[in-house]
Amino acid sequence: MSPHRLIPALAAAALALGCTAGAMPWSIGTDTALRLVSADLDAYGLGLAAQGPATVRLLPLPRLDLRGVRLSETAGQPLAEGGRLSLVLDPFALLGGRLGIGSLSLDDARLHLPGSADDARWAGPLRRLAERSRGGWGGHPHRIVLHRATLDGRVVLRDLDLDIAWPAWRAAAEAQARFTWKGEAVRLGLTDLHPAALAAGDLSPFSARLVWGTSSPSGTLSADGQARFADGLRLAGEGRLETRALPRLLAAFGHDAALLPLVQNFALEGRFETEGPAVMLPRLRVSLGQNGLDGAGAANFAQARIAVQATLAAESLDLGPLVAPLTAALESDGGAGAAVALAPYTGGDLDLRLSAAAARLGPVALEDVAASVLVRDGAVELALNRAGLQGGTLKGRVALAPTEADPAETELKVQGALDQADLGALLADLGAARWVQGSGQGHLALESRGRDLAALVARLSGRAAVSVDRGTLVGLDLADVIQRNGGVAAGALARRNGRTPFERASLSVRFADGAGEFAEGALQAPSLSASLRGGFSLADRTLRARAELSPRAAVARPGPLFDLAGPWDDVAVRALRGDEPDLPASALAAEPKSTESLRSPALLPARARAYAP
């Protein structure tokens, strides 16, 4: 081989041999390795010990590997133990004649986080890191990597993979992490953060995204804005939170909130500002199921009980899905044994002002709704300040509070008022026959207490009243019934062509111990009057009453009497003979009629019970 070819070949072989030798690990003494990096680690307030062997690689970048490491802070409290530590030395620092850590990687280690509020083991190293980060591109590690790490302390993480990159040529840092927290797989991404600006107390942009869920994402959190360290970390920007299991999410953080069992699918987005544990939301949009509401609010996470204040408005609101969990609980065991303890619903404080142009609760449509919800000191108050209902106005208030003697027992107070509502249209909304037409008004005031729904019903007391002016009974002509001495013309009910216009109809009920007594029941028509006496049982769902029709002629004669008795969904109406004894007003129990009496010719047809006065 000629010399001019041999020399390049030898040079290439030497270079290859040098690269191979430089890339091979070289064993060095553990104590020697520790002395090489101790000065640079000491600048961060860190002490390093190792039990395993140490190796050095020179290519592609100088790297020192140690096994069985233990990182501690100045006072000797452990920060990380076990695993393998790889330190990549900063080549620019080597050119300057000193050793500097460019990046570090820690595998299979256990990191010890603070276990209590007064545990400040990480305070010194983090403060030193913040100070060095203000010194320029060479004053901090450019990359920190954790593989299969475990974090113990007030926060426990498993299978943590973390990669923090802050290249020397960029002011922004970014981080990616995967870990398991309380059985949930979590992914975190953070970009556009300027650590040097944060360390100097200046504003830094940031963009963060958090996704959690074992098989499919059960929640996401994203935020873009600015961060600053000033008496703690403060954030401001735009964000979005979405979760399919809000109660489980808050429980994982050790928090509880008001009315939490009623909320599952939840989304919140808008402008936010944080100050310590307080979060201000000057502009937000809340999604609960298919409902979307806009407004403003604030939340405070200082205690386990979250305190929330909000003012929200919606174009349309469907209240059915929101009360579905409560309805399901009441329907268990037929509803009677459903517990009514407030503790599951009063885990936080809530002051909510709510308005909607239109709202629907099952089949009932409301307009121009203004309501409020107040949860405080274990009590719940629901106020319907105003709502349009079929041309009228509906108002109401429900107050629920635990009794002093038994927190599992709930005290109930209900007040409500209805004014100038179209009763025929309301009955149609409820799926019932429009057997009455006219503008109605009424009010009620009830109270009770109990541990379950059955006890609440059994102890119900109060009053309720309803009246209708210038209305019409549809489907039944009471004047014709009087003329026929309590009978109905054949086919009249099927044709529904009967009408009984009236000047006024009123009904008032007194409740005591779960039973209702008709204190007043009257109907005034141009040619007749009617009265109703008796009562009903809420617990047994039975009715026992007597109705009387009287003609308003110049020479009045006694009108027919009707006995109304039976369960609510199958009330039997029977015309009485003149020699039958009158019914005491206090008689509530009804003996079931035999099949023979139900077939009596004197009995009104079964469909007439819907039109009985």
Q: Determine the average pLDDT of the residues in 435-442.
A: 92
d(CA 37, CA 163): 22
Out of 167, 201, 219, a domain closes at: 167
Is 200 buried (19+), middle (13-18) or exposed (0-12) by CB count in 10 A? middle
d(CA 560, CA 528): 12
Cβ-contact 429, 447 below 8 angstroms: no
Taking alpha carbons only, the member of 121, 87, 82 closest to residue 103 is 87
What pLDDT shows up at residue 327?
65
Q: Summarize pLDDT for 501-557 with one digit per residue, the tens.
A: 999 999 999 999 989 999 999 999 988 999 999 999 988 889 999 999 888 765 556
Is 280 buried (19+), middle (13-18) or exposed (0-12) by CB count in 10 A? middle
- Please indicate whether residue 583 or residue 596 has the higher confidence score (pLDDT): 583
d(CA 168, CA 224): 24
- Please indicate whether residue 397 or residue 561 has the higher confidence score (pLDDT): 397
362 domain-assigned: no
**249: phi then psi, degrees, rounded to nearest 5:** -65, -50
d(CA 167, CA 184): 31
Q: Summarize pLDDT for 35-59 with one digit per residue, the tens.
A: 878 878 888 888 888 888 888 887 7
443 domain-assigned: no
Q: Determine the average pLDDT of the residues in 182-211.
A: 92
HSE of 253 in the Cβ direction (CA atoms, 13 Å)? 13
Averaged confidence pLDDT in the chain: 82
346 domain-assigned: no
d(CA 253, CA 234): 20
What pLDDT shows up at residue 448?
94
Q: Summarize pLDDT for 186-199 with one digit per residue, the tens.
A: 999 999 999 888 88
Name 84's Cβ contacts closer than 8 Å, sequence gap at least 6: 52, 65, 66, 67, 69, 106, 107, 108
What pLDDT shows up at residue 160?
95
Sign of CA dihedral 50, 83, 77, 79: positive
- Please indicate whether residue 507 or residue 74 has the higher confidence score (pLDDT): 507
Q: Determine the average pLDDT of the residues in 17-34.
A: 65
Long-range own/partner contacts, residues 572-579 (CB < 8 A, 24 or more apart): 572/598, 572/603, 572/606, 572/609, 573/603, 573/604, 573/606, 573/608, 573/609, 573/612, 574/600, 574/602, 574/603, 574/604, 575/486, 575/487, 575/602, 575/603, 575/604, 576/546, 577/602
What pLDDT shows up at residue 268?
95
What pLDDT shows up at residue 30?
81
- Please indicate whether residue 556 or residue 207 has the higher confidence score (pLDDT): 207
Name the amino acid, one letter, at 431: G
Out of 167, 194, 229, a domain closes at: 167
- Please indicate whether residue 265 or residue 465 has the higher confidence score (pLDDT): 465
pLDDT(91) > 70: no
Of 68-72, 337-341, 595-599, the range with the highest mean pLDDT is 68-72
- Please indicate whether residue 37 or residue 285 has the higher confidence score (pLDDT): 285
What pLDDT shows up at residue 581?
54
Cβ-contact 231, 278 below 8 angstroms: no
Domain count along the chain: 2
If phi > 0 it is left, if psi is from -120 to 50 it is alpha, else beta; for residue 136 that is: left
Q: Determine the average pLDDT of the residues in 422-439.
A: 88
Token pair listed for 590:
């009804």
Number of Cβ within 10 Å of residue 107's Cβ equals 15
Cβ-contact 248, 266 below 8 angstroms: no
Q: Determine the average pLDDT of the residues in 164-171.
A: 85
Name 345's Cβ contacts closer than 8 Å, sequence gap at least 6: 258, 259, 260, 261, 262, 375, 380
pLDDT(172) > 70: yes
d(CA 60, CA 235): 40
d(CA 198, CA 354): 39
pLDDT-derived band at 227 (thresholds 50, 70, 90) equals very high
Q: Enter the pTM of the model.
A: 0.81
Q: Summarize pLDDT for 100-132 with one digit per residue, the tens.
A: 678 889 999 999 988 777 778 888 888 888 887
596 domain-assigned: yes
Q: Summarize pLDDT for 350-394 with one digit per residue, the tens.
A: 999 999 999 998 888 999 999 999 999 899 999 999 999 999 999
d(CA 439, CA 448): 30
Q: Summarize pLDDT for 302-324 with one digit per residue, the tens.
A: 999 999 999 999 999 988 776 66
SS3 408: coil
**237: phi then psi, degrees, rounded to nearest 5:** 165, -155
pLDDT-derived band at 610 (thresholds 50, 70, 90) equals very low
pLDDT-derived band at 10 (thresholds 50, 70, 90) equals very low
Token pair listed for 523:
């109907």
Domain that holds residue 541: 460-611
312 domain-assigned: no
Q: What percent of the chain has pLDDT over 90?
A: 42
What pLDDT shows up at residue 351?
96
Q: What percent of the chain has pLDDT over 70?
A: 82
pLDDT-derived band at 209 (thresholds 50, 70, 90) equals very high
135 domain-assigned: yes
Q: Determine the average pLDDT of the residues in 130-140.
A: 71
pLDDT-derived band at 599 (thresholds 50, 70, 90) equals very low
- Peptide bond between residue 60 and the one before it cis (omega within 30 degrees of 0): yes
Token pair listed for 568:
């609510």
607 domain-assigned: yes
pLDDT(13) > 50: no
Out of 151, 167, 183, a domain closes at: 167
CA distances 38 to 32, 59, 113, 146, Å, are 10, 22, 23, 21
Name the amino acid, one letter, at 236: A
Q: Determine the average pLDDT of the residues in 84-100.
A: 69
Number of Cβ within 10 Å of residue 60's Cβ equals 11
pLDDT(409) > 60: yes
289 domain-assigned: no
What pLDDT shows up at residue 493?
59
What pLDDT shows up at residue 93?
57
